[in-house]
Amino acid sequence: MVKISPSLLAADFTQLGRELKKIESGGAQWLHLDVMDGVFVPNISFGLPVIQSLRPVTGLTFDVHLMIQDPLPYVQAFAKAGADYLTFHLESACDPRETIRKIHEAGMKAGISIKPATPVEQLLPFLPELQLVLVMSVEPGFGGQKFMPESLQKIRSIRAAAPDVHISVDGGINAETGTLCREAGADVLVAGSFVFGAEDPQKAIALLKGEEDGA
């Protein structure tokens, strides 16, 4: 079953508790939390205090995406803040195997994300140790970009190599691109404005799941 992971960056930050209740009641199962350091990507978002403050007010699975230069020193802190899945970038400065091991030791599920220019082949050696792969279908760092269709072949290749891993896609996801991603083998869709900006978030989430009538 496809899981919808709305991106917190698109929420109204003055009403976060209400925003989370809205998407949870609308059928979202996960919450995507983008942590940016202004170094690995040219933007800064939020960090540990926001995640920690939200953890007690929702039952959503926390899908934390670290767009930071060196994630390894922060693994334990994100576990304490309430992350369920912790995803770091293959292109970051840390040792991937050591980071995966630390994530598991901290009681979280491990994910690796790849940028659009990174070949899938670089990811393949780590797949047996992962619970999630995040395919970036835009350049990471800013919302509102257009979906890159070449991401679909990456999804197909990862699904063929790892039938049981969660494949998440982030960037330019809407009803149309979400369908393409599901057909390619993705089972987690990250969507920002399509969900949080929707007049009817429940309908938007249903459309992303492939419930064509949006009911």
Residue-wise pLDDT tens digits, 68-121: 999 999 999 999 999 999 999 999 999 999 999 999 999 999 999 999 999 999
Residue 214 in any domain: the answer is no
Q: CATH no. for residue 19? A: 3.20.20.70
How many whole angstroms separate alpha carbon 160 and alpha carbon 208? 22
Overall number of domains in the chain: 1
Residue 67 in any domain: the answer is yes
pLDDT digits (tens, 9 = 90+) for 124-162: 999 999 999 999 999 887 666 789 999 999 999 999 999
The catalytic site residues sit at: 34, 170
Torsion (CA) 92, 148, 158, 160 in degrees, nearest 10: -170
- Domain housing 84: 3-209
Residue 77 in any domain: the answer is yes
Residue 25 in any domain: the answer is yes
The residue count of the chain comes to: 215
